[in-house]
Amino acid sequence: MSDSRGVRVFLEERHLRLADEVADFAAAEIAPLAPPATDDESREQAREILARLGAAGWCRHAVPAEDGTAVDLRACCLIREALAAASPLADSVFALQALGAMPISLAGADEQRRRWLPGVADGGLMAAFALTEPHAGSDVAGLRATAVRDGDEYELIGRKTYITNAGLADFYSLFAVTGTRPDGRPEISCFVVPADTEGLKFVRAQVLSAPHPLGELELDGCRVPASSRVGEEGEGYQLAFATLDRLRATVAAAACGMARRALDEALDHAREREQFGEPLAAFQMTQQKLARMATDLDAARLLTYRAAWEADAGDGRKVTRESAMAKAFATEAAQRIVDDAVQIHGGRGVLAESPVDLLYRAVRALRIYEGATEIQHLVIARELLR
């Protein structure tokens, strides 16, 4: 069962039902899977997880409804929170369905939406989001991959790095420079590129501390039809940030899921583990840690679901500040909570087989990807100073 205490004010009845359903699914279908020990295992398991998510209908929440209703971000947050508590890899699989499909959802032509979104929704197609490059992380204007127009085609040249599902995805929402703006900054456009496109090469896997299907791509004379461009030429910069802005609260939700799992593990261990003739839970220093963990988690969840609720309002309000606050606070809080859980477990907490050790290795990346904490603080300050 899910825990919707404190955030019910931001949820509707359908969300409460969904929260219970996805929690039951995660417990029955995802939690029993052994955490992958290697990159190869993570790639194999990612496909298995996608099939399970698709068969159960969860991936349909990653794309707009058939009637055109926008992606329900509160639903995405609830799904990511439940999946992240059960398996960081499962959370990543779902997250990339939403992230890779979002540019198409926001700006894709009807033909693009018909071709790609149904496959994302039923789990038949695995999506990826290819923005980051060796010289361009937080500074998107530093992109060097180019897309040169040649008649009815574009030729893509360059390299992408830190791409989740690289070498595994069926298509990539990929960003490249198509020209120069009057102010001298690069003009960026977005393209949907099928994985089997000639000239698109999977260069190598990049191994994270927690096994995860990450890697590098090379674009070497990769030619795509002009119809693969998502939106107008030059709209890629805004489209990338619109995508990240909309989904940032779901990263916070994943952090909450990992933190909730860590707190649950710490509570169980504190009750069961005896030291000096008493359970750890009897010691005030342990109680202080548990109290701080629970408080941080509640605050993170409130910020997360407030941001998602604001985004779902559909009245045109910008949620840049709310999403940045949620992402920055929740990911930093999750790091503290997981660290405290490891400390409460003592030596057991750093065994590779320990759930809190896996969380410790997995949670760290959340503070970096889709906008590092420092970038979120700059965004918040910018919004305050407008």
Catalytic residue ranges: 370
Distance between CA 369 and CA 386 in Å, rounded? 26
Do 180 and 186 meet the contact criterion of CB atoms below 8 Å apart? yes
Q: Which two tokens stand for residue 341?
A: 């859980």
Q: Which two tokens stand for residue 89?
A: 């890899």
Distance between CA 83 and CA 86 in Å, rounded? 5
Do 220 and 227 meet the contact criterion of CB atoms below 8 Å apart? no
Place of tokens 């990807």: 369
10 Å Cβ neighbour count for 361? 18
Distance between CA 163 and CA 347 in Å, rounded? 34
Distance between CA 48 and CA 139 in Å, rounded? 34
Distance between CA 308 and CA 251 in Å, rounded? 11
**CA terminus-to-terminus distance, the chain:** 42
